[in-house]
């Protein structure tokens, strides 16, 4: 089941080490802003994303710039693995920047 998670909720789960954060953006995008303890696996490498999710006991959260890439990716992973729960960061890293890391501009 896919569930959207707000940046504030995600920050709480990251701080508690309760989540597997998978950033599906490209490296150049991650260089601008990244979440602490997130794993970068670009969206095109869906097999690696699925393997990483399978090998973790934590609920995954899929992250992209705005959420538009993360939602279909999470949907595909959910259908492939029949997960109990997979999160999508609502508003993507852009929302994270606005609500948590508000020091970055023009991203």
pLDDT in tens, 29-72: 888 888 888 999 999 999 999 999 999 999 999 999 999 999 99
For strands 39-40 and 19-23, give the pairing. Answer: parallel
Average pLDDT of span 89-105: 84
| pLDDT above 70 as % of the chain | 95
How far apart, in whole angstroms, are the C-alpha atoms of residue 80 and residue 101?
Answer: 33
**Mean pLDDT value across the chain:** 92
pLDDT for 103? 55
Residue 17 DSSP code: T
CATH number for domain 2-99, candidates 1.10.3720.10, 3.40.50.720, 4.10.95.10, 3.40.250.10 = 3.40.250.10
Average pLDDT of span 65-81: 96
């Amino acid at each position: 089941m896919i569930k959207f998670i707000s940046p504030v909720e995600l920050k709480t789960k990251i701080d508690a080490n309760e989540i597997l954060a998978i950033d599906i953006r490209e490296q150049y995008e991650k260089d601008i802003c990244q979440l602490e303890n997130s794993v970068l696996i670009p969206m095109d490498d869906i097999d690696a994303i699925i393997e990483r999710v399978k090998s973790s006991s934590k609920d995954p959260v899929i992250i992209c710039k705005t959420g538009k890439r993360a939602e279909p990716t999470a949907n595909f992973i959910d259908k492939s693995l029949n997960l109990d729960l997979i999160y999508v960061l609502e508003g993507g890293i852009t929302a994270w920047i606005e609500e948590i890391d508000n020091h970055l501009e023009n991203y």
